[in-house]
Structure 1
Amino acid sequence: MRRLDRIIADASKQNWVDLYAPEGLQPYMKLSRLDRPIGTWLLLLPCLWSIALAAPTGGFPNLWLFILFGIGALVMRGAGCTLNDITDRNFDGQVERTKKRPIPSGQVSLLQAFLWLGFQCLIGFLILLQFNTFAIMLGAASLILVAIYPFAKRFTYWPQFFLGLAFNYGALLGWTAVKGDLGIAPVIMYLGGIAWTLGYDTIYAHQDKEDDVLIGVKSTALKFGESTRSWLIGFYSVIFIALILSGYVAGLTVPFYIVMAGAGAQLAWQIKNLDIDNPDICLLLFKSNKIFGLIVLAAIILGKFTLFG
């Protein structure tokens, strides 16, 4: 199969997996979505926000924790995507965007996919063991959410809610890895993050809505339909307000609020440019949430310092 014929629909034509990775490893990397790194960013960013929020006043966040959570986000997002592909193997071949995934295209057997899943979970477990006892217990509990999400689209129009529960768990875990306990600030951040995921993944789901109707799975894109923009305004208002509140509770300084204005502008740009019938626009807006998340991270880090030193 030629390289261009192997590229999955929503991956960049210049993604590094198809360009440079050894051909025998490519199907496993694609099971982990290494050809589409945006999901890893969206899983990692709430972790980084929380670690930065827990940093001491006048200090930078713990770089070693950034590295550990980066590796953990990479492998656990990969594990979640592998599990998703295993459970969706009978659906993916019927959807244009997913028919080239490794399992429905025959590049990986079901047994090989399960072995790859186990390998990634093992790495994630070893990363988790580097944290304090409370963080280890909290992290282990997240596996319940990871396991539920792939099945949610079968019984509810709100699978994005379950994705939000899992994808924003790092807002709790990052703080706990620093502090050894939980506080109100990361809880507010976590609840806001769920709304953020409901927003950006609804945009993403609009790419598949016709196929979803045909194969009988559910999503918020189908639930909201033409009202999506109104729902998006609501979801994005919640994440913005939640981040402001968590920063206030954590005692962040004026620079946090100044930079957060830029984050709010990025969300407003997404809402303004939404076109639910244009898959290319939907994918662009979805991926732009990495920019939003990095602006928020910069705001939190700067908010640990006073404006005039």
Structure 2
Amino acid sequence: MAQASKLIMSSSQTLSRTNPISNLNHQLRPSIYLPKSSIKPVKSNSKISHYTLENSAIFNRSLIKSVRLLGRGFNLANQAPQVSASDKTIEKAEEEKAVTSSWIEAVFPETARPYAYLVRLDNPTGTFLFAWPCLWSLAFTANPGSLPDMKMLAFFFLVSFMSRNIACTINDYFDKDFDAQVERTKGRPLASGAITGFQALCFLGIQVLLGYGIFLPINELSRILWVSSLPLIFTYPLMKRITYWPQAHLGLTANWGALYSWAAVKGSLDPAIVFPVLVACFFWTLEVDTIYAHQDKEDDVKVGVKSTALLLGDSTKLWTTGFGVASIASLALAGFNAHIGWPFFVLLAAASGQIAWQIWDVDLSNPADCFRKFASNRYFGAIVFSAILFGRLLS
């Protein structure tokens, strides 16, 4: 009996030395902090894990993250911890967000940071998508052989920046409850509670007053057209609740600047040029924002909101190809009516190549890739703007 008892105790000590999980549960001696270097992967025939903790009952937090002992990445079968493709995508997106957002932490005081994030200062892509229609329209206003007014270009870039900020604020105010349920947006200031709805509305009022104020030196038609864009901006967040085509509403909201920027220079509207530009921008936004909406399609189903991504589903690439063709054709019509030079059509062909690439290369099941293709439209806008500039210079 004594020999059996010794044999059992010896087996227990051996199991304790080789089983780190057993050590965690039963070891009573004081814990000793060990650096990462003391924890090494080893080859083992154990059916529990390939990792052994030496002389410690406490995991370093970074080790817990890497081996995912308590998470979905750790496998108790005879294999090393695995990180799924979706995990890698999420982690990469989080790392990119941290990098792009770090300058806000460095520049803004703590009380102002939520407002900087509210208007997406860490993600300027939306500002460019509001600005390009204004800049395209202004480029068309240039006289043959001349460049557009540089002061007007700078002014309407500022207007686009402010209009986009207003749109972000009102969007997040209406969507704060939805955003809190969506992985990508639950950290936004209103959804997370960093600022209150009342604070956001006060901030919105200040932005609208500033926007109207900077328009005072501009002619009345342009100012009226800018004010007429505000109802579109304020109602856009509600569209996803009632229609599968909120992107069509955004197609007017984000591109209304093509009208008021033209009016600021000409004092009137030329339907033969400015309306084809507006139609081109409308279909461009349909294409761009449909791809963007595929990021959140699973969460949208859960929370009960609508989008063209859900409506079009597996037919998305076919439809967005049609949107892209309509956009390029409308731009070509605007150039033809403006009697623009041949470089416009050459560079417009390059722009059509860029839009074709983003449509057919996008992985609609990969949110990170959807966002990359969405962000690439900054370059599409720049190519079209260059096409109009060179076309005017050589017309």
TM normalised by structure 1 equals: 0.94
Task: Tell me if 1:255 matches 2:343.
Answer: yes
Alpha-carbon distance, 1:22 to partner: 2.4
- Partner Cα distance (1:77, 1:263) in 2: 24
Q: What per-residue deviation string (whole Å, max 9, x for no partner) do you get for residues 125-163 of structure 1? A: 112222111111111111121122010000000000001
Number of residues of Structure 1 aligned to a counterpart in Structure 2: 302
Is 2:100–2:122's contact at 8 Å kept on the other side of the alignment?
Answer: no
Counterparts in 2 of 1:145 and 1:75: CA distance versus 1, 3 Å: same
Query: Is the CA contact 2:277–2:330 (under 8 Å) kept in the aligned structure 1?
Result: yes
Provide the aligned C-alpha RMSD in A. Answer: 1.7
In the TM superposition, residue 18 of structure 1 has moved relative to its aligned partner by 3.7
- Shift of the 12–288 alpha-carbon distance from structure 1 to 2, 3 Å rule, reads farther
Q: Does the CA-based 8 Å contact 1:49-1:171 persist in structure 2? A: yes
Is residue 52 of structure 1 aligned with residue 139 of structure 2? yes
Contact 1:10 1:97 in 2 (8 A): no
Aligned to 1:278: 366
Alignment of 1:124 with 2:221, yes or no, is no
Per-residue CA deviation, residues 61-100 of structure 1 (Å, 9 max, x unaligned), is 1111111111111111111110011101111100000000
Alignment of 1:204-243 (within 5 A): 204-243=292-331
**Which blocks of at least 5 consecutive residues in structure 2 are unaligned?**
1-92
Identity %: 44
TM-score normalised to the size of structure 2? 0.74
Q: CA 1:12 to 1:64, structure 2 compared with 1: closer, same or farther past 3 Å?
A: farther
CA gap 1:112/1:8 in 2 versus in 1, 3 angstroms: farther
Gap change, CA 1:148 and 1:8, over 3 Å in 2:
farther
- When Rg is computed on C-alpha atoms for both structures, the one with the higher figure is 2
The equivalences for 1:98-137 within 5 A come to 98-137=185-224
* Aligned 8 A contact 1:9 1:97 in 2: no
Higher relative contact order (CA 8 A, sep 6+): 1
Contact persistence 2:147–2:393 (CA under 8 A): no
Give structure 1 stretches of 5+ with no counterpart. Answer: 1-6
Aligned counterpart in structure 1 of residue 249 of structure 2, from 159, 162, 182: 162
> Equivalents in 2 of 1:104, 1:271: separation in Å?
31
Shift, 1:10, TM fit: 8.2
What is the CA-CA distance between 1:9 and the residue it aligns to?
Answer: 9.1
Secondary structure in 2 matching 1:14: helix
Q: Tell me, in whole angstroms, the C-alpha distance in 2 between the residues paired with 1:223 and 1:137.
A: 35
Alignment-derived partner of residue 3 in structure 1: none
Kindly indicate whether residue 376 of structure 2 is the aligned counterpart of residue 300 of structure 1. Answer: no
- How many angstroms apart in 2 are the aligned matches of 1:9 and 1:97? 13
Change (3 A) 1:201 1:12: farther
Matched, 1:200 2:284: no
